[in-house]
Structure 1
Amino acid sequence: MDSDRSGVLTEVSVQEPKANPKGKAVAGAAPPPPVVISTKVTTTSNPKGGWRRGFAIFDLVLRLCGIAVALAATAIMGTTQQTLPFFTQFFQFQAQYNDLPTFTFFVIANAIASGYLVLSLPFSIICIVRPHLRGLRILLIILDTLPRLLRLRT
């Protein structure tokens, strides 16, 4: 087996010719050349996944951080209640997230984003276990960018 720096392995199977069964050979004659039966060329890559696995682990870490931040923002915004003095201490204003439609949208959007990130975690883990799956990686990239593409068109 011969290997070069590009990771290509070449395997050559060689079979020696059969000897003359009668044992008679010509004096001073060169031995017959070996017969090549098959040649097989295979390419090898890093069996552990290399940079693809590292990229998948980085993707998983980003998803976990995104889940933590989105859930924290949803929980804080959904449970916040404030009492604000209005002009004097006798007039007070109660404020909640559902008083303004913008805050309600913020809580709902963060909840949807958290749900998507939780549902995409198994796919990200599969990309770590099998780093050579390109279709699943492309699916995650498309699903991650789809909301941005839809927002640009409106």
Structure 2
Amino acid sequence: MKAGTLEAGEPSHFPPPAGGINRGISIMDFIFRIVAGLATLASAIAMGTTNETLPFFTRFIQFRAQYNDLPTFTFFVVANSVVCAYLVLSLPLSIFHIVRRGAIGTRIFLIILDTAALALLTAGASAAAAIVYLAHKGNSSANWFAICQQYNSFCERISGSLIGSFVGIVVFVLLILLSAVAISRS
């Protein structure tokens, strides 16, 4: 037997190369970035285009509910838009990781930016979730009435917008975990 060759049936004492696994992780990273980008874009659009007008006694006096009536919803739209833009801008680095599996420095850079984006997205979604809860349930102690019986369409859209944002949060957690696994395997 020559040095460095294996006979048939002889076990290998070397672990399989991690290149295939890291490439798979990089492809999943790219797909997750697209999914998170679409979720945050959909959330920003759904919230940013939400409004409902209700007539009151006559058609000249009307009550209107818009997302920008509440600064929390404005923050939600801005946070989702910023995170969506970041995800689009991070796609070239994700493609770079598919091509060059051993790029640890850029992966660490992405983990730091992903964590900051996750924090921003979580802050926006959590603040908006509190207002959506008040819109649905109200608060009798503070004399805040639930408005979702009157503004049904408005409440459905803002609730749906929150779902997209929380999907983005879950995908960001998976992105950070994937990057950590890729770094540990390099």
Same fold, judged at TM 0.5 (above) = yes
Q: Which runs of 4+ in 1 moved over 4 A?
A: 88-91, 147-152
Q: Cα distance, 1:143 vs. partner?
A: 1.3
Q: Cα distance, 1:3 vs. partner?
A: 3.9
Question: Residue in 2 aligned with 1:79?
Answer: 49
Distance 2:103 2:82 in 1: 27
Q: How far does the alpha carbon of each residue in 1:52-96 deviate from its partner, in whole angstroms, 9 at most, with x for none?
A: 11111111111100110111111111122211356x576531111
Give the match's secondary structure for 1:52: helix
Question: Alignment partner for residue 2 of structure 1, among 1, 4, 15?
Answer: 4
Question: Residue in 1 aligned with 2:39?
Answer: 69
Whichever structure has more strand as a proportion of its residues is: 1
Unaligned runs of 5+ in 2: 7-11, 124-186
Q: How far does the alpha carbon of each residue in 1:12-71 deviate from its partner, in whole angstroms, 9 at most, with x for none?
A: xxxxxxxxxxxxxxxxxxxxxxxxxxxxxxxx936xx21111111111111100110111
Distance 2:21 2:115 in 1: 22
Q: How far does the alpha carbon of each residue in 1:91-135 deviate from its partner, in whole angstroms, 9 at most, with x for none?
A: 531111111111111111111111110111100110011111111
Is structure 2 residue 90 aligned with structure 1 residue 120?
yes
Identity score, percent: 49
Kindly report the root-mean-square deviation, in angstroms, between the aligned alpha carbons of the 2 structures: 2.7
Question: Alignment partner for residue 17 of structure 2, among 15, 39, 45?
Answer: 45
Question: Residue in 1 aligned with 2:104?
Answer: 134
- Could you state the TM-score of these two structures normalised by the residue count of structure 2? 0.53
AA in 2 matched with 1:129: V
Distance 1:130 1:84 in 2: 57
Distance 1:108 1:141 in 2: 22
Higher relative contact order (CA 8 A, sep 6+): 2
Larger Rg over CA atoms:
1
- Could you state the TM-score of these two structures normalised by the residue count of structure 1? 0.63
